[in-house]
Amino acid sequence: DAKTTQPTSMDCAEGRAANLPCNHSTISGNEYVYWYRQIHSQGPQYIIHGLKNNETNEMASLIITEDRKSSTLILPHATLRDTAVYYCIVGGYQKVTFGTGTKLQVIP
């Protein structure tokens, strides 16, 4: 699976959009981009995934660059409950390998 690079931490004001970047320059053609988050002392939660096109669901939007070497997860209106570690993962259909993720702190 391709390696990903994410900032260690980010802050976001409550109610504002949180934009979390991820670099995955070695992604191969059949690998998906997945985003998960982990709230303290809980199991990770699936957020969204995509291959080439931008994706949106009830939780977030995923923007993938045309060359697929990077992506951005957007939480449109961050709340305090969105404070968590966000993991960007690139891979196929089997095991999910976690990097260090981005610790997002939503500030009141």
Partner 1 sequence: GAVVSQHPSRVICKSGTSVKIECRSLDFQATTMFWYRQFPKQSLMLMATSNEGSKATYEQGVEKDKFLINHASLTLSTLTVTSAHPEDSSFYICSARVGGYEAFFGQGTRLTVV
Choose which of 2, 21, 44, 105 interacts with partner 1 (CB under 8 A).
Answer: 44
Short-list 82, 69, 93, CA closest to 21: 69
Q: Which is nearer to partner 1, 23 or 32 (CB)?
A: 32
Q: Which residues pair with 19 in a beta bridge?
A: 74
Choose which of 49, 61, 74, 105 interacts with partner 1 (CB under 8 A).
Answer: 49
Choose which of 18, 34, 88, 104 interacts with partner 1 (CB under 8 A).
Answer: 34
Looking up tokens 């070695």, which residue turns up?
26
Residues 61-90 that bind partner 1 (CB under 8 A): 87
Cα Rg of the chain, angstroms? 13
